[in-house]
Structure 1
Amino acid sequence: MVKNTAFVFIKPHAVTDKTKELVKSKLEEKGITIKKEGSIEAEEIDKKMLIDKHYYAIAAKATLKKPTELPIPKDKFKDHFGVEWDDMVKEERVFNAKDACEHLGVDSKKLDALWATAKKEKKLVKFGGGFYCGQVDYEGKSIYAFNGFFMEMRSKFVDPGVSIYYYVAEWDSAACSWEDFRGQVLGPTDPADAPEGSLRGLIAKDWESLGLKAACNTGDNGVHASASPFEALAERMNWLGARMDSDPFGKVLIKAGVGKGLIKEWSLDPQVTFGALPIKKSIFDTLEDTDTDYCVALCQMIASFATEQPAKSKSSAMEKEVEKLKAEVAAYQELAKAVEAIQNYVPYAKQQKATPKAEAK
């Protein structure tokens, strides 16, 4: 049986030697084995856009894609801002958050402040989950930016000198479910609500003695951990460059018939549709808090509703069948020609009788 394996990392604001000691000892105290650990520096995070891929749904609109590549609901844009989307594109007034900083000549903190102003003035519209557009005004310039809040969030991971410290943590689901791992060992997003003894609770409580520069909050809550075995695979692939066909959980998924292409697609947390009465939901949300065995079963079921047919053996069998049919068709081609010749044959005597009739006309 494949054990539960999560990707855990201490967030940049909390990376100190004392925090590292606390996290490792707490995990081991709960019977969780550290399979691998290490540091990833800001330069690498920035260059490889690791944090952008980690928060892909948000970052896609903020840094990874241009506004013209996004599915903009033009009617909703016009209803909120009173202008046509296409006109704003022509006037070059639409930017993702990264380009907005460059266009306005501001840093991430300033854009975050401008974004907060836009929100306060109700110049912000939500197009979907993690998909926001805001009218940002600064020094005579008025632009439309997407997910402007992300740049400040990103800067916490890419500012010079910062880093994350990660752990690949493994444990038996019989001893601790994934739900308990997140709820009791890690603690909820808001450290103020964290159970006593949870990692987020301990870091929030002892932040000064641990060497943190400021108290924790919902964003800077000390530590991150994967929400499911599948999300952990996606995070190992992103942060550590793990190969899905050599990763323990990845190998089990592939063996269960979930194709590599589908795994790669799902690692970006798309909406998936499945079920006899179709359900459409984020793949990460669908698999959240599941243990490895159940997670694999769910993935297998959801994959059965996808258009991809990942099983190579099935594909090969189909190809062989097609080739066999082609050969059979080819064998009948000569017979078909003979039948056609017989059908088109007109006896010589009939041809002679037909000639006078034709001349009489």
Structure 2
Amino acid sequence: MKIAFFDSKPYDVESFINKNEAYGYTLKFFEPKLNPDTALLAKGYEAVCAFVNDTLDNQVLDILEQQGTKVLIMRCAGYNNVDLKSAHKRIHVLRVPAYSPYAVAEHALALIMTVNRKTHKAYIRTKESNFTLRGLTGFDMHGKTMGIIGTGKIGQVMIGLLKGFGMNIVAYDPYPNEQASQELGFTYKSLDELFQSADIISLHCPLTPETQYIIGAHAISQMKQGVIIINTGRGGLIDSKALVDGLKNRKIGAAGLDVYEEEGDYFFEDMSIEGITDDTLARLLSFPNVLITSHQAFLTHEALNNIAETSLDNVKAYLAGEKLVNEVCYRCSSPECAKDSTGRCF
């Protein structure tokens, strides 16, 4: 089996080469992102491994199929950049559903602690021998209300961490997990109730047509004055222009973002020479109360190891004709999906 990797970074190469010793596949790593121009590089590769900012629309899938690609391995949990309807009955799409919920939740917590206590600003000041405290005042998290949107594995780990701070946790999920609610001690609320009551809101849901811009102008208008918004999910969960407006009128007290809706041209790259031409991203970076990290929440040794292992296991299952437990298709949430009876989406 030959596997072509796109948008490959040194940590990808290291983790996959190390893990591949147990599988023996032929791996080829390409630095460019996958798009209509670079898809030709995958000629002769039955498997293609892609990441969050690769383009996997109908045009790219056509090229891949014509060149012999049979299986697409997403080395991430999300797959909103894949045209699943176009891929159906042409290319199997598999993902890594849970590489490390701890990695993402812990990074989200780090963002909260940083924008609240402003440790990033204190670090810069003291490096310049400035030991003043003006503008560094935060608040006790103990006793405050935390709003969690999405109570899957990452959301539940996040709740467990926050309970250690003595926070009151309210959550929203279209598919409530009442057992988790009882065991972890949180309460499900409607979105409106969550927006109105939370001092901090953290997003841990996938990006779907239903969740796109779940944080928009109307949602922000319902929030508490000075609310903190954290997003380690997908950029499209937040309407960035509405976020800018909320920061400008000080409805939003601070924001910690590991993702951005138009991040594809910037995140994972060095833009220090070219500069940023995205006006909205540039505006967000200009706010003193906004902290942006470049989609690094997943980046721990444990997560990288799990991503490589699960990705290669996905390939192994495909080759062995086994049930593809991590396969996704546009009908997976419907009884029409054949996975229940055949073990594969087609």
Give the TM interval when normalised to the shorter protein. Answer: under 0.3
Of structures 1 and 2, the larger Rg is shown by: 1
More RCO (CA 8 Å, sep 6+) = 1
Q: Return the TM-score normalized by structure 1.
A: 0.23
Q: Return the TM-score normalized by structure 2.
A: 0.24
